[in-house]
Amino acid sequence: MRMIRKITPRFIKIIYRKIFKGKRTSVNNEIPCYIKEDLKPLISNSNIPCLPFGFKSLGISDNRATLVWNQEENRVYRYIRPNFQPMLPEVLKRINSCIDLRKMVVSHMETSSSPGLLEQQFIHPVTRIFEWPPSMVRSYALYMLDFIGLLDKAGLSLIDMSNFNTTFFEGKFVFYDIGAITVGKMEKNVFLSMLELLINPIILMSYGEYERAHHYLRQGESQTNNVGYRDIKGYMPKSVWRTYKRLILYVVNLINNGNVLQSCTKIKKYVESSFNIVKTTTQWESYSHSIMQSLSEDNLSLKYKNTVKMIREIKPSSFIDLAGNGGVLSVLLNKEVKYSICMDLDMNAIDFLYQYIVTNGINTIYPVFRNILDVSDDKVINNINMPRLRILQNPYKSDCAVGLAILHHLIFTEALTFDSVLDCFFSYTDKYLIIEYIDISHKSAIIHWGQERLNEFTWYSRENFEKAVRERADIISVLPSGNETTSLYLLLKRG
């Protein structure tokens, strides 16, 4: 009996090579895209994008548009499918005719290479709503209500609602899916979907249900996972629930009569007056507050002074502060880099940073509420209805990664090794890593784990740490970060 070969991604690639001729390019082990000489034959007869030389698929495609990326030149193109192309010139004309609306949408430029092909402003990094702190989510919801209202004034509307059509870029929210905008009035089901995807999670946050709210925000656009009204009813006092229910019925009536702008205004006023984010206490929320209140280089500790010195020595265009708390380094160096990312799992610390950058008008810092051990999006791709999460395998890679006072926490709390921590940290950078080593003899930082616990980590030593480092990188310099038991290492990644 003849055996049937198991179909694997590698087997699919082999078949594709036999069917198609020419060079190929692929990204993240997706089905390869075959190179064409120019942009004219971008769409094949089968309506599958065929990419020009140097372009890679972002894995973002729906029934309206496909997005492709020129990695070397950092250029992004959005191809609008033929049945949606007739409306495209009018959509662009109406957006460009409204100054306020134009500021809220990522810029697009039509190309002469192919009908329906737009060159889109390149945005990096791309942060996602489920990695934003509560105040940021609330600000985004109010932004979307303003955006939908402005679209309505321009005679435009959204075809559908997705939390992944917008990101935070250069200090403001920007809508980047031009294919989701059409001429005409917004339909009732789209508006209600917006309420379920955005407003209902904010209501959960206003009652302290952050984990549940972020779970729903992670779903993004799956219609089966929206936050239904039954999901929030149990957290609201009966009087508040009845008021909200009456408002929804009133808004539905407005939408049916074509009053989209009035509906947005009603919902916005209600959210602003009724649902404020309730703050809960977190372990590390005030770790950097005292430093931020009187932030100047003269008042910095030796650790921060030497870290800043190292960063200025290598002059990165960007850096990511892993477990960066309230963003001391990002704020200090915000005018010296193109952008910085501050990533931390403490929700209040990241929320504090977001409010700080908004208050002070800083547009180069990206606050990210995320576990630094989640180095890939694979952990959140658990739903076939979330294609936009496959944009990049490691969306937060920068020229330099910084990890201060975190190595020992990951080892003693998470039971990781030097190898695993270094591999994790290096996944965030193509070049440099600045990492702080704290010796086991440092009483105030280490001893609270207890001597019995520390006895399990007899391998934790500077010698073994440096051995693990040298397997991956060159040590450029070592500076003290406090007393003789703590040091900062500036490393250059090999390979």
The pLDDT of residue 461 is: 92
Cite the beta strand spans of 88-237 per DSSP E. 108-110, 117-120, 156-158, 166-169, 172-175, 181-183
Separation between Cα atoms, residue 419 and residue 222, nearest integer Å: 38
Average confidence (pLDDT) over 282-310:
76
- Taking only the tens place, the pLDDT of each residue in 109-131 is 766 556 777 888 888 888 889 89
- Taking only the tens place, the pLDDT of each residue in 397-427 is 899 999 999 998 898 888 889 999 999 999 9
**443 — pLDDT class (breaks 50, 70, 90):** low
Is 70 exceeded by the pLDDT of residue 451? no
Characterize the bridge pairing of strands 55-61 and 65-70: antiparallel
The pLDDT of residue 32 is: 27
Most confident of 202-206, 215-219, 286-290: 202-206
Is 80 exceeded by the pLDDT of residue 245? yes
Q: Which residue has the higher pLDDT, 412 or 495?
A: 412
Reported pTM: 0.81
The pLDDT of residue 37 is: 31
- Closest among 127, 58, 129, 495 to 340, alpha carbons compared: 127
- Taking only the tens place, the pLDDT of each residue in 40-95 is 333 332 333 444 444 554 545 566 777 776 666 777 777 777 787 788 889 989 99
Separation between Cα atoms, residue 140 and residue 363, nearest integer Å: 16
Query: What mean pLDDT, rounded, does the chain reach?
Result: 79
Of the listed ranges 40-54, 240-254, 472-486, the least confidently predicted one is 40-54
Is 90 exceeded by the pLDDT of residue 337? yes
Separation between Cα atoms, residue 327 and residue 343, nearest integer Å: 8
What single-letter DSSP state applies at residue 196? I
- CB of 170 within 8 A of CB of 122? no
Instruction: Kindly list the structural domains of the chain, giving each domain's residue range(s) and its CATH number in brackets, ordered by start.
Output: 9-86 (no CATH), 129-274 (1.10.510), 289-493 (3.40.50.150)
- Closest among 288, 209, 192 to 247, alpha carbons compared: 192
Average confidence (pLDDT) over 358-372:
94
